[in-house]
Amino acid sequence: MDKEMLDDIRDAIEEAMEDALDDATDELEDRLQELISDSISEFFAEGLEEVLHNHQFTLKDGTVIQPRQRTKVLSPDKTRLYACYGGLRIDGTTLQVQTRISSWNPLCTYQTKEEAVQALLKVKNAMEQGLSIIEL
């Protein structure tokens, strides 16, 4: 191999290494920004919970919000455990639990709307009693 060919190979390797380093750096920066954003959001959500400690309010859809609930809700199949922020709602036959101010998670889908309403009432009663966990 002549010197020119070795220089070309070395240049190609250096360029590939620089590209890989740039990609890794970009991924790390993106992940760091995401973590910072999540931390800030969580900090403000927790701060808002402190401010709203004993207040209750109703959303436009009629959902009653009681912040600072400590009740955790376990799905009937025991695959999901959510810390309930305070809101519960029914979407069709699905019971949804509010896990943050603007975040709703489906907990369980029932055969009928009446069954979903019964489950909602069970969770609501557990929250009002201050239970730490309710199992559906």
- Dump pLDDT digits (tens) for 111-127: 999 999 999 889 888 88
Cβ atoms of 123 and 71 within 8 Å: the answer is yes
Could you list the residue range(s) of the whole structural domain that residue 107 is in? 57-135
Do residues 72 and 38 both lie within one domain? no
Residue 73, helix vs strand vs coil? strand
DSSP-derived letter for residue 43 is H
Q: Mark whether 95 and 43 lie in a shared domain.
A: no
- Asked if residue 130 and residue 74 are part of one domain, the reply reads yes
The predicted model scores a pTM of: 0.49
Cα→Cα distances 82→36, 49, 57, 123, 134, Å? 23, 17, 21, 12, 10
Which of 9-13, 43-47, 117-121, 126-130 holds the top average pLDDT? 117-121
Q: Are residues 94 and 127 in the same domain?
A: yes
The total number of structural domains that make up the chain: 2
How does DSSP assign 59-72, residue by residue? -TTS-EE-SS---E
